[in-house]
A and B are shown apart, each in its own frame.
Chain A
Amino acid sequence: MDAGKRFSADEMLLDRQIFDADDQPLGKVDDLELTLPDGGGPPVLTAILCGPTALGPRIGGRIGQWWAAVGRRLRPSDEPYPNRIPLDQVGKVDSTRLTLTVSRDVLDADRMRDWTRDHIIGRIPGA
Chain B
Amino acid sequence: MKRVFALALGVMTAIGGFVDVGNLVTSGITGARFGMSLTWAIVVGTIAMTLYGEMAGRVAAVARRPVFHIIRERLGVRTALVNLLAFVLLSLLTLAAELGGVALVLELVTGINYLVWVPLIAAAVWLIVWRMSFSVMENLFGVLGLCLVVFVVALFVLPTDWGSLWHGVTHPWVPPREGHPMYLFYAVSLLGACLVPYQVVFFSSGGREEHWTPKNLTEMRFNCVVGFPLGGLLSIAIMAAAAVVLQPLQINVKHLGQVALPVARALGPVGLSIALVGFAAALLAAAAECALSIGYSVGQFFGWSWGKDRRPREAPRFHLVCLVAVIAATAFILTSIDPIAVTVVSVVLGAAAVPLTYFPVLVVANDRDYMGGRVNRRWSNALATVFLVLMVVTSIAAIPLIFFTKAGQ
Chain A residues with a Cβ under 8 A of chain B: 14-18, 24-28, 30, 50, 55, 58-60, 63, 95-96, 112-113, 116-117, 120-122, 124, 126-127
Q: Is the CB of A126 within 8 A of B312?
A: yes
Q: Which residues of B contact A55 (CB under 8 A)?
A: 77, 302
Q: Which residues of A contact B80 (CB under 8 A)?
A: 15
Does B265 sit at the interface, judged by CB under 8 A? no
Extra inter-chain contacts (13) besides given A96-B65, A116-B317, A117-B316, CB under 8 Å:
A15-B77, A17-B303, A18-B303, A27-B304, A28-B302, A58-B77, A59-B77, A59-B78, A59-B81, A60-B78, A116-B316, A121-B313, A127-B311
Looking at A28, A112, A121, A122, the one whose CB has the most chain B CB atoms below 10 A away is: A121
Tell me the smallest distance from the CB of B265 to a CB of chain A, in Å: 45
A127 to B126, CA, bound (A): 13
Of the candidates A28, A120, A127, the one whose C-beta lies within 8 Å of that of B303 is A28
Q: Which residues of A contact B73 (CB under 8 A)?
A: 15-16
A17 to B305, CA, bound (A): 11
Tell me the smallest distance from the CB of A25 to a CB of chain B, in Å: 5
Could you pull out 22 A-B pairs where Cβ atoms are within 8 angstroms?
A: A14-B77, A17-B69, A18-B303, A24-B305, A25-B303, A27-B304, A28-B302, A59-B77, A59-B78, A63-B81, A96-B63, A96-B370, A117-B313, A117-B316, A120-B320, A121-B312, A121-B316, A121-B320, A122-B313, A124-B130, A124-B312, A127-B316
Tell me the smallest distance from the CB of B218 to a CB of chain A, in Å: 23
The 10 closest A-B pairs by CB, nearest first: A28-B303, A117-B316, A121-B316, A116-B316, A27-B303, A127-B312, A127-B313, A95-B369, A25-B305, A15-B72
A10 to B303, CA, bound (A): 18
Does B131 sit at the interface, judged by CB under 8 A? yes
Of the candidates B77, B317, B369, the one whose C-beta lies within 8 Å of that of A113 is B317
A63 to B80, CA, bound (A): 14
Given the known interface contacts A59-B77, A126-B131, the answer about A112 and B317 at a Cβ–Cβ threshold of 8 Å is yes
Tell me the smallest distance from the CB of B48 to a CB of chain A, in Å: 27
Of the candidates A28, A60, A126, the one whose C-beta lies within 8 Å of that of B130 is A126
Q: Which residues of B contact A122 (CB under 8 A)?
A: 313, 316
Q: Is the CB of A26 within 8 A of B303?
A: yes
A124 to B369, CA, bound (A): 42
A117 to B69, CA, bound (A): 23
Does B33 sit at the interface, judged by CB under 8 A? no
Q: Which residues of A contact B369 (CB under 8 A)?
A: 95-96
A30 to B130, CA, bound (A): 29
Tell me the smallest distance from the CB of A46 to a CB of chain B, in Å: 21
Tell me the smallest distance from the CB of B209 to a CB of chain A, in Å: 14
A58 to B72, CA, bound (A): 13
Given the known interface contacts A15-B73, A127-B311, the answer about A96 and B64 at a Cβ–Cβ threshold of 8 Å is yes
Tell me the smallest distance from the CB of A53 to a CB of chain B, in Å: 13
Of the candidates B81, B131, B320, the one whose C-beta lies within 8 Å of that of A116 is B320
Looking at B77, B319, B369, the one whose CB has the most chain A CB atoms below 10 A away is: B77
A15 to B305, CA, bound (A): 15
Q: Which residues of B contact A27 (CB under 8 A)?
A: 302-304
- Contact bitstring B294-309, A, C-beta under 8 A = 1, else 0: 0000000011111000
Does B111 sit at the interface, judged by CB under 8 A? no
A117 to B316, CA, bound (A): 5
Q: Which of B308-334 contact A (CB under 8 A)?
A: 311-313, 316-317, 319-320
Q: Is the CB of B76 within 8 A of A15?
A: yes
Q: Which residues of B contact A127 (CB under 8 A)?
A: 311-313, 316, 319
A26 to B305, CA, bound (A): 7
Q: Which residues of B contact A113 (CB under 8 A)?
A: 304-305, 316-317
Q: Which residues of B contact A16 (CB under 8 A)?
A: 73
Q: Which of B342-364 contact A (CB under 8 A)?
A: none
A117 to B304, CA, bound (A): 13
Q: Which residues of A contact B65 (CB under 8 A)?
A: 96
Q: Which residues of A contact B313 (CB under 8 A)?
A: 117, 121-122, 127
Closest to A17 in B: B303
